[in-house]
């Protein structure tokens, strides 16, 4: 075990589940570091109220989506305070015994009053030398030593804290239960953690933890505080107002490769002029020490652009497979049994360059699979507004009955009609498109008709002609 780095990743202090800020930001570092060496990934929370299977599973699923294997032996998974509570209390008692901590019987209200009277916020060390022993209602507090605490941070360098600015913080509550910071340190020591990688919001609390490591007789781990992700207002991303959970992007049709790649560009950049790099390259080049120091804005538009690139890079077969979940589930706009992979395979090359998110696919191909085509009223109105629309569509319909049914022949028919009537193909295709697909935009029209088939195409043209009057 010695010599092997063991990393710990801590969640945001505001809670782990769905607090995407720190959570989302950390996924990329987790992944990159996992590829760089062995580590223990531990998702922690001392709040037992969150100890629910779905909570746990949600995290594991999200990690699995981007390639972190929850069954990896180095992934110890979520755990909760209860499992280690005895060790926490024991550590607190040893700290008391060694004089590093003392009991205090002041209530929170009393502390506040004293602080107010003194004009200084925080606990003033009232019970430092009162020699109190353990007892109900008495909290155990750490005796912050004089001097300075230097935190050597892997991404930020040397950060110095004057201990005089750190109050004697609580270790055990009046009811005897340990607080987060103690639990954290004790667990890290027990698990032989060597590297603590977390969001920068933890940096101000780091000297406290480091003093705890020292007092407990251990050498503090390597700290690494990575930047947080912020919203448009430059505020830390939060569950309540921001859309940040990894699962949401998965559900919109972002591919895991694009997600990871995009995430990596937040606070770090690959060498060279392109940001689109495969994960092997990222894993090879990533260094904690080259991580940026400032917070980054999560740009959904750029994520989409990345995803579009990843989608286009796929082979046709890969693309079709990636689309299938969106075409055969309740995400589709038609009953699952109406989907035909063979038909989709034919239209797919035209779809591949037209979507950035997989969730956009169903609406582009629905005309091939729905039983009753819904016509967009505004599009219909516009397409049939011109004088020539109805007569020329009728003419097309006429010739379509005998034309060869392939896109070149169909296009030739429409072009000929257009030339004879002095209507550009760009305009002339509009009524045909709306009649056949229900929309004014979509994949190339003649290919679409070819795949739709003659019978259904004619039927739809007739319906449109009828509707147009």
Is 300 within 8 Å of 263 (Cβ atoms)? Answer: no
Q: Distances from the Cα of 26 to the Cαs of 167, 200, 281, in angstroms?
A: 29, 11, 19
Binding status of residue 173 toward RNA by CB under 7 A: yes
Residues 61, 188, 134: CA angle, nearest 5 degrees: 120
Sites for RNA among residues 67-106 (CB under 7 A): 104-106
Judged by beta carbon, residue 90 or residue 118, the one nearer RNA is 118
Minimal distance, residue 206 CB to RNA, in Å: 8
Is 46 within 8 Å of 81 (Cβ atoms)? Answer: yes
Binding status of residue 121 toward RNA by CB under 7 A: yes
Binding status of residue 339 toward RNA by CB under 7 A: no
Binding status of residue 324 toward RNA by CB under 7 A: no
Binding status of residue 243 toward RNA by CB under 7 A: no
Q: At residue 163, what are phi and psi to the nearest 5 degrees?
A: -60, -25
Tell which one of 37, 47, 82, 116 touches RNA (CB under 7 A). Answer: 47
Active-site option among 116, 208, 236, 239: 239
Distance CA 144, CA 128 (A): 10
Judged by beta carbon, residue 5 or residue 176, the one nearer RNA is 176
Secondary structure of residue 229 in the 3-state scheme: strand
Tell which one of 2, 71, 274, 315 touches RNA (CB under 7 A). Answer: 274
Binding status of residue 441 toward RNA by CB under 7 A: yes
Q: Which stretch binds RNA (CB under 7 A): 215-223, 381-389, 395-403, 426-434?
A: 426-434
Binding status of residue 181 toward RNA by CB under 7 A: yes
Distance CA 201, CA 277 (A): 29
Tell which one of 426, 455, 466, 469 touches RNA (CB under 7 A). Answer: 426
Structure tokens that stand for 31 in this block: 């992944």
Binding status of residue 123 toward RNA by CB under 7 A: yes
Minimal distance, residue 3 CB to RNA, in Å: 27
Close Cβ partners of 420 (under 8 Å, ≥ 6 residues apart): none
What is the separation of C-alpha 305 from the centre of its chain, rounded to a whole number of angstroms?
A: 16
Judge whether 239 counts as a catalytic residue: yes
For residues 16-29, b (16+ Cβ closer than 10 Å) or e, as one string? bbbbbbbbbbbbbb
Q: Which stretch binds RNA (CB under 7 A): 45-53, 189-197, 394-402, 453-461?
A: 45-53
Sites for RNA among residues 222-241 (CB under 7 A): 227-228, 230, 233-236
Judged by beta carbon, residue 114 or residue 331, the one nearer RNA is 114
Tell which one of 273, 337, 372, 387 touches RNA (CB under 7 A). Answer: 273
Q: Which stretch binds RNA (CB under 7 A): 27-35, 164-172, 332-340, 370-378?
A: 164-172
Binding status of residue 385 toward RNA by CB under 7 A: no
The pattern of x and - marking residues 284 through 313 that bind RNA according to CB under 7 A reads ------x-xxxxxx-x-xx-xx--xx--x-
Could you count the other beta carbons within 10 Å of the beta carbon of residue 65?
Answer: 18
Minimal distance, residue 238 CB to RNA, in Å: 8
Judged by beta carbon, residue 148 or residue 329, the one nearer RNA is 148
Question: E strands, 85-184, where?
Answer: 101-104, 139-142, 148-153, 157-162, 170-172
What DSSP assignment string belongs to 374-410? PPPHHHHHHHT-STTHHHHHHHHHHHHTTS-SSHHHH
Catalytic residues: 239
């Amino acid at each position: 075990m010695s010599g092997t780095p063991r990393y710990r990743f801590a969640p945001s202090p505001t809670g782990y589940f769905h607090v995407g800020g720190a959570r989302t930001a950390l996924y990329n570092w987790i992944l990159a570091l996992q590829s760089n060496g062995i580590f223990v990934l531990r998702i922690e929370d001392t709040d037992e109220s969150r100890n629910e299977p779905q909570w746990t599973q949600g995290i594991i699923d999200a990690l699995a989506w981007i390639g972190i294997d929850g069954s990896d032996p180095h992934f110890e998974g979520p755990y909760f305070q209860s499992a280690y509570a005895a060790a926490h209390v024991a550590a607190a008692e040893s700290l008391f015994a060694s004089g590093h901590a003392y009991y205090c019987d002041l209530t929170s209200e009393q502390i506040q009053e004293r602080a107010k009277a003194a004009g200084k916020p925080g606990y003033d060390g009232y019970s430092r030398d009162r020699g109190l022993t353990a007892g109900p209602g008495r909290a155990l507090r750490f005796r912050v030593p004089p001097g300075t605490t230097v935190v050597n941070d892997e991404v930020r360098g040397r950060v110095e804290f004057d201990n005089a600015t750190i109050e004697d913080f609580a270790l055990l509550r009046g009811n005897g239960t340990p607080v987060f910071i103690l639990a954290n340190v004790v667990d890290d020591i027990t698990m032989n953690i060597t590297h603590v990688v977390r969001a920068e919001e933890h940096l101000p609390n780091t000297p406290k933890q480091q003093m705890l490591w020292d007092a407990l007789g251990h050498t503090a781990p390597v700290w690494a505080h990575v930047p947080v992700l912020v919203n448009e207002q430059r505020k830390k991303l939060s569950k309540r107002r921001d859309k940040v959970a990894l699962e949401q992007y998965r559900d919109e049709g972002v591919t895991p490769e694009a997600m990871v790649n995009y995430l990596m560009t937040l606070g770090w950049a690959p060498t060279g002029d392109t940001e689109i790099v495969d994960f092997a390259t990222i894993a090879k080049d990533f260094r904690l020490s080259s991580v940026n120091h400032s917070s980054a804005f999560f740009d959904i538009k750029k994520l989409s652009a990345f995803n579009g690139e990843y989608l286009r890079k796929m082979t046709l077969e890969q693309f079709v497979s990636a689309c299938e979940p969106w075409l055969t589930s309740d995400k589709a706009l038609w009953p699952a049994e109406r989907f035909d992979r063979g038909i989709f395979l034919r239209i797919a090359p035209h779809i591949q360059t037209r979507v950035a998110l997989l969730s956009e696919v169903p609406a582009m191909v629905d005309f091939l699979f729905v039983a009753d085509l819904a016509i967009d009223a505004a599009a219909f109105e516009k397409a049939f507004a011109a004088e020539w629309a109805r007569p020329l569509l009728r003419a097309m319909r006429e010739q379509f009955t005998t034309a060869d049914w392939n896109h070149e022949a169909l296009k030739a028919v429409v072009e000929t009609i257009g030339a004879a009537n002095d209507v550009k193909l760009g305009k002339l295709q509009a009524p045909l498109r709306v009649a056949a697909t229900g929309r004014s935009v979509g994949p190339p029209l003649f290919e679409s008709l070819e795949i739709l088939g003659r019978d259904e195409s004619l039927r739809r043209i007739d319906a449109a002609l009828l509707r147009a009057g």
